[in-house]
A and B are shown apart, each in its own frame.
Chain A
Amino acid sequence: MENNRSFYNEILTEHNVNPYHKTDIKDANYELHGVNPSCGDEITLKLKVDNDKIVDAGYVGDGCAISQASADMMIDLVLGKTKEEALRLADIFFRMIKDEISEDELEELEEAGALQDISHMPARVKCAVLSWHTLEEMFECK
Chain B
Amino acid sequence: MQYTIEELRAKGAKIRADFPIINDTYSYLDNSATSQKPRQVLDAVRKYYEEENANPLRGLYDLSVIATERYEDAREAVRKFINAKESAEIVFTRNASESLNLIAYSYGRNFIQEGDEIIVSVMEHHSNMLPWQQVAKAVGATIKYLEPLKDGTLLPQALEDIISEKTKLVAITQVSNVLGCLNDIKSLAAIAHKNGAVFVCDGAQSVPHMKVDVQDLDVDFLVFSGHKMLAPMGIGAVYGKKELLDKMPPFLYGGEMIEYVTLEGATYAELPHKFEAGTVNAGGAVGLHAAIDYINDLGFDFIEQRENQLCEYAYKQMIEIPHVHVVGSNNPDNHHGILTFTVDGCHPHDISEIMNAYKVNIRAGHHCAQPLTKWLGLNSTTRASIGFYNNEQDIDRFIECLKQIRGKLGYGE
- Report whether B350 and A65 are in contact in the complex, using a CB–CB cutoff of 8 Å: yes
Tell which of A13, A17, A124 touches B349, judged by Cβ atoms closer than 8 Å. A124
B234 at the interface (CB under 8 A from A): no
Asked if A16 contacts B408 (CB within 8 A), the reply is: no
Interface centre among A17, A40, A41, A121 (most CB of B within 10 A): A40
Known contacts A62-B379, A63-B347, A64-B347; decide if A16 and B410 are in contact (CB<8 Å).
Answer: yes
Q: Is the CB of B353 within 8 A of A17?
A: no
Q: When the two chains form their complex, are residues A65 and B409 in contact, meaning their CB atoms are under 8 A apart?
A: yes
Q: Which residue of A lies closest to B364 (CB)?
A: A39
A16 to B408, CA, bound (A): 12
Chain A residues with Cβ below 8 Å from B402 are none
Give the chain B neighbours of A1 by CB distance below 8 A: 357-358
Q: How far is the CB of B361 from chain A (nearest CB, A)?
A: 13
Q: A residues within 8 A CB of B156? A: none
A127 within 8 A of B: yes
Query: Taking the nearest CB of chain B, how far is it from the CB of A123, in angstroms?
Result: 8
Supposing A40-B379, A64-B349 touch, asked if A14 and B358 sit within 8 A by C-beta, the answer is no
Range class of the B interface residue count: 10 to 19
Query: Binding site of A, secondary structure by majority: helix, strand, loop or mixed?
Result: helix
Within 8 A of B (CB), among A87-130: 121, 124, 127
Interface string of B121-163 (1 = CB under 8 A from A): 0000000000000000000000000000000000000000000
**Residues on A with beta carbons closer than 8 Å to the beta carbon of B411:** 17
Q: Is A47 an interface residue, CB under 8 A from the partner?
A: no
- Tell me if B241 counts as interface (CB < 8 A to partner A): no
Question: Which of chain B's residues 324-371 have a Cβ closer than 8 Å to chain A?
Answer: 345-350, 353-354, 356-358, 365-366
Set of chain A residues within 8 Å of B358, measured between Cβ atoms: 1
Interface string of A58-69 (1 = CB under 8 A from B): 000011111000
Given contacts A5-B408, A8-B408, contact A124 B353 (CB under 8 A): yes
CB of B409 within 8 A of CB of A40, answer no
- Distance (whole angstroms) from the CB of B127 to the closest CB of chain A: 17
- In the complex, whether A51 has a CB less than 8 A from a CB of chain B is no
> For residue A13, which residue of chain B has the nearest CB?
B410
The residue that B345 contacts in the complex, of A3, A17, A39, A124, with Cβ under 8 A, is A17
- Return A112 CB to nearest CB of chain B, in Å: 17
A27 contacts the other chain (CB 8 A): no
When chains A and B are docked, how far (Å) is the Cα of A19 from the Cα of B408?
A: 17
Q: For residue A3, which residues in chain B have a CB less than 8 angstroms away from its CB?
A: 357
Q: How far is the CB of A132 from chain B (nearest CB, A)?
A: 18
**B55 on interface, CB distance cutoff 8 Å:** no
Q: Does A137 contact B (CB under 8 A)?
A: no
Quick check: B366 and A14 within 8 Å, CB to CB? no
Residues of chain A within 8 A of B349, CB atoms compared: 39, 41, 64, 66, 124, 127
**How far is it, in angstroms, between the C-alpha of A56 and the C-alpha of B380 when the chains are bound?**
31
Closest to B365 in A: A39
- Contact between A66 and B350, CB atoms less than 8 A apart: yes
Instruction: Give the chain B neighbours of A40 by CB distance below 8 A.
Output: 365-366, 379-380
The answer to whether A4 touches B365 (Cβ under 8 A) is: no
- B409 CB contacts on chain A under 8 angstroms: 8, 13, 16-17, 65
Minimum C-beta distance from A63 to chain B (A): 6
- Please give the number of chain A residues whose Cβ is less than 8 angstroms from any Cβ of chain B in the complex: 23
Contacts of B357 in A (CB 8 A): 1, 3-4
Residues of A within 8 A of B408 (CB): 4-5, 8, 13
A10 within 8 A of B: yes
**Interchain CA distance A4-B360 in the complex, whole Å:** 13
Chain A proximity of B352: nearest CB distance (Å): 9
Binary per-residue interface labels of chain A (1-29) against chain B in the complex, 1 for a CB within 8 Å, 0 otherwise: 10111011010111011000000000000
Asked if B350 and A8 sit within 8 Å, CB to CB, the answer is yes
From the candidates B350, B356, B366, B410, name the one contacting A64 in the complex (CB within 8 A). B350
B-contact bits for A32-47, CB 8 A (1 contact / 0 none): 0000000111000000
Interface-centre pick from B346, B358, B409 (highest chain A CB count, 10 A): B409
The complex places the Cα of A5 from the Cα of B353 at a distance, in Å, of 11
Residue of A nearest to B349 (CB): A64
Complex interface: chain B residues within 8 A of A65 (CB)? 346-347, 350, 409
Complex Cα gap A63–B411 (Å): 17
Select from chain B the residue with minimum beta-carbon distance to A17.
Answer: B410
Other than the known A17-B411, A40-B366, A65-B346, what 12 A-B pairs have Cβ atoms closer than 8 Å? A4-B353, A7-B353, A13-B408, A13-B409, A16-B409, A17-B409, A17-B410, A39-B349, A40-B379, A62-B379, A64-B350, A66-B350
Contacts A/B (CB < 8 Å), 22 sampled: A1-B358, A4-B353, A4-B354, A4-B356, A4-B357, A4-B408, A8-B353, A8-B410, A13-B408, A14-B410, A16-B409, A17-B345, A17-B409, A17-B410, A39-B349, A40-B365, A41-B349, A64-B349, A64-B350, A65-B350, A121-B353, A124-B353
Please list the 6 inter-chain residue pairs (A to B) with the smallest Cβ-Cβ separation, ordered nearest first: A13-B410, A4-B357, A64-B347, A64-B349, A65-B350, A17-B410
